[in-house]
Amino acid sequence: MDVKVTKKKLSLKDRYKLLTRDLGWQTTYQPMDKVYPYVTFEGIKIHDWEKWEDPFRLTVDAYWKYQAEKERKLYAIIDAHAQNNGHLNITDASYLTALKLFLQAISPGEYAASKGFARAGREFGGIGTQVACQMQALDEIRHAQTQIHAISNYNKFYNGFHAFADQRDRIWYNTVPRSFFDDAMSAGPFEFLIAISFSFEYVLTNLLFVPFMSGAAYNGDMSTVTFGFSAQSDEARHMTLGLESIKFILEQDPANVPIVQKWIDKWFARGMRLLSLVATMMDYMLPKRVMSWREAWNIYGVENGSALFTDLARYGIGLPKHWDDVEKSIDHISHQVQMALYQWSFGTSFHSWIPSDEDMAWLSAKYPETFDKYYRPRWENIKKLKAAGTPYANFGLPKLCQVCQLPCLFTEPDDPTSHCQRETEYKGEKYHFCSDGCQHVFENEPEKYVQAWLPMPGLFQEPLKGDIGAWMQWVGLNPGKDTGDYDGSEDQLNFAAWRTQATRNE
Ligand code: FE
Ligand code: ZN
């Protein structure tokens, strides 16, 4: 009797090969370098694309199955959150400041990353790279969508959530992440990978995603925690892509090493400026805090970062150039940025507030070297001004850094009592910077950064021409509702009233 031989199932690796093999034909109507013109102009030399192993080998059908399962769970929870007034379970409506910042600054960044990976996938010559970029482009657009959906429920009840897309492009503190992603997207494909996959996803993502998602968990925000989990498994793939791609580039040719090092220096400097907003969120915006920015930096920056760069030393890659300056700034930046957000809070689409006595005790304990010495006295003074009926506001416009676009509000690495400002003259024009890091980025590519659109000078250009009221409309701010002190705000009063209704018989 014949035994029926069952066809042996293909291994994942073989299936993946079958899936991608036909994408890799050699073009005949046009030469390959015309089809992929961007692979050479950055100076990176690739000798063998075959060596680039896609670490996931994810096929489209498997990808769809995984993601659909995650979506089903996510939307069930978002639905339950909406139906059960989940918004009343958060610790306090002041927590929403962190969430507003996330929606305005980070979710559009996910969308930008999606566009960037879609483009990079087209520009690379290797199949493995193309497919990995395509998968990540899909992930990132999903992240943007699930975040916007999860957070949209809060928009029904609270101010400041309604115009995040315009605000991402137009409000001063949001042009910090916007310019970060615009810079990456307008770079060549290899720099894009080093900027987003390696520097951002691999080195810095734990300092961004973990604080926001743990912040949500600590403060009772179920819908945000859920999209965090849903994105987490993608994040693991993205980090692997970051590490795979840098190793591939470095192994291909020794001439690639100095180019990559320059990109690491640049994107670390830019990334750390972007993270100053996260530092502020961790130390000031969460009613129930997870850990301090300093503690997060020690774990995810110092410990993980040093291990990584020790590992990369065998390729000739060293720590990012401005690592020491960054280390010196860690105990300062959250206090400096929060004071900026408070004094310009007439122009923010979230509330800020003076830290309470309890908050200040926490900050003293977490920043024993700096808080009481440099920042408590200022907060105490700001508190007095408020009590006297003359709350502190700064109607002057700050000078912005031409690279990171933050106001030049940081201090000298070795002297926290003097402002750090740098200047470069280029083709007869003066440009200003917040730090040596940003100045170096500019000086390496001046023609790129002289084109940067800066929100403060933008206020005096068409169509606004200096009209603050018109600016408010243009950026989608309702003065007094979206802006200003949390104390006495509609968000605070409504939350208190709804909580009372939900928990008492009044
Ligand atoms: Fe993402
Ligand atoms: Zn800067």
Q: Judge whether 121 lies within some domain.
A: yes
Nearest ligand, CA 437: 2
Q: Reduce the DSSP state of residue 46 to 3 states and report it.
A: coil
Q: Is 2 a residue whose pLDDT tops 80?
A: no
Percent of the chain whose pLDDT exceeds 70: 98
| Mean pLDDT confidence for 430-440 | 97
How far are the Cα atoms of 316, 317, 327 from residue 258, in angstroms, in the given order? 9, 8, 23
Q: How many domains does the chain have?
A: 1
pLDDT band, very low/low/confident/very high, at 237 (cuts 50, 70, 90)? confident
Residue-wise pLDDT for 339-355, tens only, equals 999 999 999 999 999 99
378 contacts 387 by C-beta, under 8 angstroms: no
d(CA 231, ligand 1 centre) in Å? 7
| Mean pLDDT confidence for 77-83 | 94
CA-based end-to-end distance of the chain: 83
Q: Judge whether 234 lies within some domain.
A: yes
Report the CATH number at residue 384: 1.10.620.20
The pair of structure tokens assigned to 89 is: 């379970």
d(CA 115, ligand 1 centre) in Å? 12
d(CA 267, ligand 2 centre) in Å? 12
Q: Judge whether 6 lies within some domain.
A: no
pLDDT band, very low/low/confident/very high, at 201 (cuts 50, 70, 90)? confident
pLDDT band, very low/low/confident/very high, at 56 (cuts 50, 70, 90)? confident
Amino acid at 175: T
pLDDT band, very low/low/confident/very high, at 1 (cuts 50, 70, 90)? low
Measure the CA–CA gap between 104 and 108, rounded to whole angstroms: 7
Q: Judge whether 379 lies within some domain.
A: yes
d(CA 184, ligand 1 centre) in Å? 15
Q: Is 465 a residue whose pLDDT tops 60?
A: yes
Q: Judge whether 430 lies within some domain.
A: yes
Measure the CA–CA gap between 173 and 167, rounded to whole angstroms: 9
Percent of the chain whose pLDDT exceeds 90: 75
Scanning 171-322, the segments in alpha helix (DSSP H) are 175-185, 189-192, 209-218, 222-252, 256-280, 293-296, 304-312
For residue 236, the model assigns a pLDDT of: 84
Q: Judge whether 66 lies within some domain.
A: yes
Q: Is 365 a residue whose pLDDT tops 80?
A: yes
Nearest ligand, CA 241: 1
Q: What are the b/e assignments for 236-275, b being 16+ CB within 10 Å?
A: ebbbbbbbbbbbbbbebeeebeebbbbbbbbbbbbbbbbb
Nearest ligand, CA 403: 2
Measure the CA–CA gap between 81 and 85, rounded to whole angstroms: 6
Weakest mean pLDDT among 51-60, 90-99, 183-192? 51-60
Q: Judge whether 467 lies within some domain.
A: yes
Q: Ligand 2 being an ion, which residues bring their Cβ within 5 A of it?
A: 401, 403-404, 434, 438
d(CA 164, ligand 1 centre) in Å? 17
d(CA 435, ligand 2 centre) in Å? 6
Give the per-residue SS3 of 123-144.
Answer: HCCCHHHHHHHHHHHHHHHHHH
Q: Judge whether 3 lies within some domain.
A: no
Q: Is 359 a residue whose pLDDT tops 60?
A: yes
Nearest ligand, CA 439: 2
Q: Which domain holds residue 126?
A: 16-503
pLDDT band, very low/low/confident/very high, at 383 (cuts 50, 70, 90)? very high
